[in-house]
Amino acid sequence: MTMQGKPDAETVPVTLRVNGQDRALEIDPRFTLADVLRDQLRLTGLHLGCEQGVCGACMVDIDGQPALSCMILAVEAQNAEVRTIEAVSKQDGELGRLERAFIEQGAFQCGFCTPGFLTIGHHIIDNGLATSAERVRELLSGNVCRCTGYEPIVQAIMSIAQEES
């Protein structure tokens, strides 16, 4: 964007299906999915940390798979189902089971990495991938937390996985 808020490149029309709703937008084709979700759709639950695909703070679910939204151009997400952290909680705004488990296990600290961990945590649980704490640690390896030491996050995910088995 230029200083006057006008695009410095041509925009393109794109329709993104985000959290079950189609959203028609005009975007700069160079914008990442993270930028569009945060800045244009005001879905600020995902965070931008490293913007290099290393930290996992911008994790979303695309067509049932975890994806780093800072590494994907928004135009590449057209015709895909994008699910953000805003879609994780129950529809009535109450916390979901995994969110409650994060609180019970002390997995929340500063909260910056939490949306990414919850997104991947839901993927792990929903797909029956929490076969052991070691496996969960391996699946979480793309997410970085500087506060908790990871063990409470692993315990929270395992507690929900064990409830479901």
pLDDT of the residue at 16: 96
Q: What is the mean pLDDT of residues 132-144?
A: 94
Residues 16 and 77 in one domain: yes
pLDDT of the residue at 82: 97
Backbone angles phi, psi at 130, to 5 degrees: -85, 65
Beta partners for residue 125, in sequence order:
none
Q: Do residues 87 and 19 lie in contact, with contact meaning Cβ atoms separated by under 8 Å?
A: yes
Judge whether 2 lies within some domain.
no
Number of domains observed in the structure of the chain? 2
pLDDT of the residue at 1: 47
Q: What is the mean pLDDT of residues 136-158?
A: 91
Domain final position from 40, 58, 87: 87
Residues 83 and 118 in one domain: no
Domain final position from 29, 57, 87: 87
For 86-134, what is each residue's pLDDT tens digit?
A: 987 666 778 889 999 999 999 888 888 999 999 999 999 999 999 999 9
Range of the domain at 75: 12-87
pLDDT for residue 165 is more than 80? no
Residues 79 and 102 in one domain: no
For 22-33, what is each residue's pLDDT tens digit?
A: 999 999 999 999
Residues 75 and 130 in one domain: no
Domain final position from 87, 111, 145: 87
Is 0.75 surpassed by the pTM of this model?
yes
Residues 153 and 105 in one domain: yes
Task: Considering only the C-alpha atoms of the chain, give the largest distance between any 2 of them, rounded to a whole number of Å.
Answer: 55
pLDDT of the residue at 4: 53
Instruction: Tell me the CATH number at 142.
Output: 1.10.150.120
Judge whether 7 lies within some domain.
no
pLDDT for residue 3 is more than 50? no
